[in-house]
Amino acid sequence: MTTQTFSGKAEHIWAATVATASVLGSWIFACITPFAAIGVLLAATLSPRKAMAWMGGVWLTNQLVGYLILDYPRTVNSFAHGGSLLFASMAGLFVAIGVLKRRNNETLVSLGLAFAAAFVAYESLLYVAALYLGGIDTFAPDIVWLIAKNDFFWFAGLLAARVALTRALPQFYAPQLAVRST
């Protein structure tokens, strides 16, 4: 599979840009982190191993913001919900990797399909977790639609930022075409 990846420091700058934007945005906008959107962008630009590491970092930072700044309850149930977010985020990332690998390109159609599949996987796993942990009421259609729109706008915005940054600061953001090897 060929995909756009970054080399050396540039890939870490890009991943840090995605992570920072999403964490700051989730803090500002009531902690709705767009994990599906982040997963697709990381899957499209980093090796699976690096994408997993960055997704884990985004999740950890999201949890730290929640518990240390937004005062999430420190209960076993709350920690279990946090764990389910990590599991669902990684699953969404793997689904995005799979879709992009199968499609063998990074066209807007492929990225859109990867986003839709990652979002469905992410939300489905959170739904299953809510069956056991509680919170099933947060899966009302209007709430899921709100989350879908939030993720989509983050996805579109971060994708636009990637294009703009690649053009404006190619020494830091310019991708090179490479075969994903790890």
Q: Looking at 25-39, 52-66, 89-103, 139-153, which range is the least confident one?
A: 25-39
DSSP 82: H
pLDDT in tens, 166-178: 788 777 766 542 3
Please state the pTM of the whole predicted model. Answer: 0.85
Least confident of 17-26, 114-123, 147-156: 17-26
Q: Tell me the H-state helices in the chain.
A: 9-28, 35-45, 48-64, 76-103, 108-133, 141-168, 170-173
**Does residue 107 have a pLDDT over 50?**
yes
Question: Which residues have a Cβ under 8 Å from the Cβ of 149 and sit 6 or more positions away?
Answer: none
pLDDT tens-place string over residues 14-65: 777 877 877 777 677 666 788 999 999 999 888 899 999 999 998 998 888 8
Pair of tokens at residue 180: 């994903």
| C-beta separation of 35 from 122 below 8 A | yes
